[in-house]
Amino acid sequence: MTTILFSAGEASGDQHAANMFLEIKKHQPDIKGIGMGGAKMAQAGIDIRYDSAGIGVIGVVEVLKHYGEIRRALKLMEQIISTERPDLLVCVDYKEFNFKLARFAKQQGVKVLFYVSPQVWAWRAGRVKAYGKVIDMMAVIFPFEIPYYEAENVPVRYVGHPSVDKVHPQHSKAEDMARFGLDANQRVVGLLAGSRANEIKRLLPVMLAAAALLQFKFPDCQFILPQADSISDELLSEYLDDSPVKVTVIKQQPYDVMQCCDAVMTTSGTATLEISLLTVPMVICYKLSPLTYWLGRLLVKTPFIGLPNIVAGKAVVREFIQHEATANNLATEVGRILTDQDYRETMQENLQAVKQQLGQGGGSKNMALLALEML
């Protein structure tokens, strides 16, 4: 039986791998999927050998804290490659870990398909050569990434951004407003504090403080938070129970939540593209440990961290990073989005252009076909 080993270390990778495997099964129903991932991959029928929920961390300090656990996961995955000899290793994002795993697989003669390129356009472009030595194919999700790999003769394929296919609310906005208990005549502000525990700890308190400022200025404001699968009820209640602001928490319906919003405060990451695809005005914020931030300032070459701004090549939405990510800055920007119609409409037009640049989608299907082609 043909076996694919998947390696996904974060919530977004778990979703991408699951979608890809479901597409593969349509073409080859008897194929076997095993690997490291989460609930979405398990639901898709992949045999989860290592639950990645505890190792989806970002930043130097955070990785060091979880180093033992990450190392255990890597050893287990290497052991699976040695003993079970999968026909293909699909590495989904989670760059540093998957680079090491890909190198090991290559040494063992296992083909490697890497899905979601490291951000070589932002920093360490020299990594292209290094990745070229350990993979058989790089599947990129932005068209502007192709030339970096072609320049070094590394096999590359643009498969489309996976978000384009999945960002579809299940209900109409009017239905969602009623389902979520929101007043259709009042403004709605979304709080997207991230899918990692350390993001919630750093950013949710700031967003809640901004929400309190907004509620004082706009008493008719309603606040809503889509809870990521990777975030526990207990973690959220630590912050929400003490908040003076009422926040409606909704599980497993992020796009229905997003479409209800007049404005969104969001952490940097894939969510910013998802919000762009729904053309909802937003403000991006992010906080890292001081050491990680300092290293980032030294290494990162791109002027933006928000994906809508990177895709557009200009500042489409405001970004508040590290010490600038304050309740006052967030509240002021959301207030402007809510009250300045020209500003709001210009932002929506720019987000519409970002949406067009991301193309027609078909990412999961294209990935499935690419994997089958390699097999």
Complete domains list, the chain, with CATH: 3-161+360-374 (3.40.50.2000), 173-357 (3.40.50.2000)
Q: Is the pTM of this model over 0.85?
A: no
**Percent of the chain, pLDDT > 70?**
92
Q: H or E element: which one contains 77?
A: helix 67-84
Beta strands across the sheet bearing 156-158: 47-51, 32-37, 3-8, 88-92, 111-115, 137-140, 156-158
Rounded distance, CA 113 to CA 134, Å?
Answer: 10
Rounded distance, CA 346 to CA 349, Å?
Answer: 5
Concatenated DSSP letters for 21-32?
A: HHHHHHH-TT-E
Q: Are 210 and 334 in contact (CB under 8 A)?
A: yes
| Interval 81-137: pLDDT, tens | 999 999 999 999 888 899 999 999 999 999 999 999 887 665 656 789 999 999 999
| Interval 312-343: pLDDT, tens | 889 999 999 888 999 999 999 999 999 999 99
Rounded distance, CA 98 to CA 79, Å?
Answer: 14
Whose CA is closest to 181, among 236, 241, 237, 223? 223
Mean pLDDT of 268-287: 93
How many C-beta neighbours within 10 Å does residue 360 have?
9
Q: How confident is the model at residue 294 (pLDDT cuts 50, 70, 90)?
A: low
